[in-house]
Homo-oligomer: A and B are copies of this chain.
Amino acid sequence: MSNEHTELHTSIHDWIRQHREAGTSFLQQLVKMPSTQGHEQEAQLFIAEKLRELALDVEVWEPDGDALQSHPYFCSPRSHFTGSPNVVGVLKGSGGGRSLLLNGHMDVVPEGNREQWQDDPFSGRVVDGKLYGRGATDMKGGTASLLMAVEAIQGLGLTLKGDVIFESVIEEESGGAGTLAAIVKGYRADAALIPEPTNLRIFPKQQGSMWFRIEVKGRSAHGGTRYEGVSAIEKSVTVIQHIRELEELRNARIIDPLYAKNPIPIPINIGIIQGGNWPSSVSDTVKLEGRMGVAPEETLEAAKAEMSDWMAGLSLKDPWFESHPPHVEWFGAQWVPGSVDPEHDLMKVLMQQYRVVKQDEPTIEASPWGTDGGLLTQVGETPCIVFGPGITQVAHYPNEHIVLDHMFEAAEIIALTIIHWCGLEA
């Protein structure tokens, strides 16, 4: 490592250390704004204000539901986004460098059962170096690390050659309409980074996923003469086992070493089952709802087609399904998978700066869940890597929190990555 690089690292490290209190306070304010779906405005305007302070060119807009709905990758339970703005800030470089898109989502999942929280779910309280609250890990802590990185670069008076595009989006938790709206607006870059909660692991690949609903049919009868009917509950047992076989088949094909630690790289999870309406009647319908994992290099369409073809095979197991084929519907959320070559230049830069800051070798994996990175990579033509300070295990759970040291480490690694990717003006 050259002296110049060592000095740069020291400067960034010191700047961030000196601004720990401000960084913590910033995240605290952000967590206190309960930006669940439909309630993102306050937090988004807070971000926009911060971007203006940093002298970025700021755009704030509510995505146009009508226009988005015709987009093949649009997926949202909402058709309008009034009161739910996207925010983008652009830091123009001096020219001649590579551009980097930094993306974080502002929507948080609902807090769930408050009784399972030891404190107010939106407290932002710091205990033993951990900041608590819904969204602290997923992913306001990641967003705070992005902004600290940009602020550090500016605070040290450094000028980047390439552009930095910072996006704070809505709707990640519901299918990515916020990031899609930013892509449609034309925001693209040479590469992208999303600091979702990866425990500081680096994910060049992310699993996609889609929700499905399967209706299994039976024929009702009185329970006392149940042999006169056909139980949709019994038929759904066959369907569940059939889907389990599809999962095995699909996962046997996954030989990517990035999934080596993962017993089921692309699971098919049946999360909901519901059928029948009277204990002593034979149920004539069972509804199954689940999530199908989609491999990083796979398309949503291919995965859907494989599921449909597979379900057609049910009639070989039980002729009932020939006359009563289960209906498969794709509904609700979907996340496009994403894959970036592990040898991509941004991977090399990020891994190197990880080593510099952490004095350790980074862990490279493929994520078991989807992010907006798939949309950026596949639809926005902006290869995206996921790397962030949040704790995977506490995302979406009660008592969600982030380790503040990790947030500052991530800010440091990201600041250096921006500098080495975009290039510095001498």
Binding site for B on A (CB under 8 A): 207, 209, 211-213, 222-227, 231, 233-234, 236-237, 240-241, 244, 262-264, 267, 269-283, 286, 289-291, 293, 332-333, 367-370, 396
Contact = CB atoms under 8 A, between A and B. Distances in A.
B237 A293 contact: no
Given A211-B280, A264-B226, A272 B271 contact: no
Contact of A237 (B209, B237, B267): B237
A281 B271 contact: yes
Question: Taking the full assembly, how many copies of this chain does it contain?
Answer: 2
Contact of A282 (B207, B222, B269): B269
B227 A267 contact: yes
Contact of A283 (B224, B271, B286): B271
Contacts of A209: 223-224, 280
9 contacts: A223-B293, A224-B368, A234-B244, A237-B240, A269-B279, A272-B278, A273-B275, A280-B291, A280-B333
A223 B267 contact: yes
A369 B222 contact: yes
Contacts of A207: 224
A233 B237 CA distance: 10
B223 A263 contact: no
Given A233-B240, A369-B222, A369-B224, A271 B267 contact: no
B263 A271 contact: no
Contacts of A264: 226-227
Contacts of A280: 209, 211, 269, 271, 290-291, 333
B267 A224 contact: yes
Contacts of A270: 231, 233, 276, 283
A273 to B, nearest CB: 5
Given A233-B273, A234-B244, 6 more contacts: A224-B267, A224-B369, A269-B280, A272-B278, A279-B289, A280-B290
Contacts of A289: 276, 279
Contacts of A278: 271-272
A280 B283 CA distance: 25
Contact of A273 (B226, B274, B293, B396): B274
A177 B209 CA distance: 53
Nearest to A212: B279
A190 B68 CA distance: 79
A199 B57 CA distance: 83
A59 B274 CA distance: 46
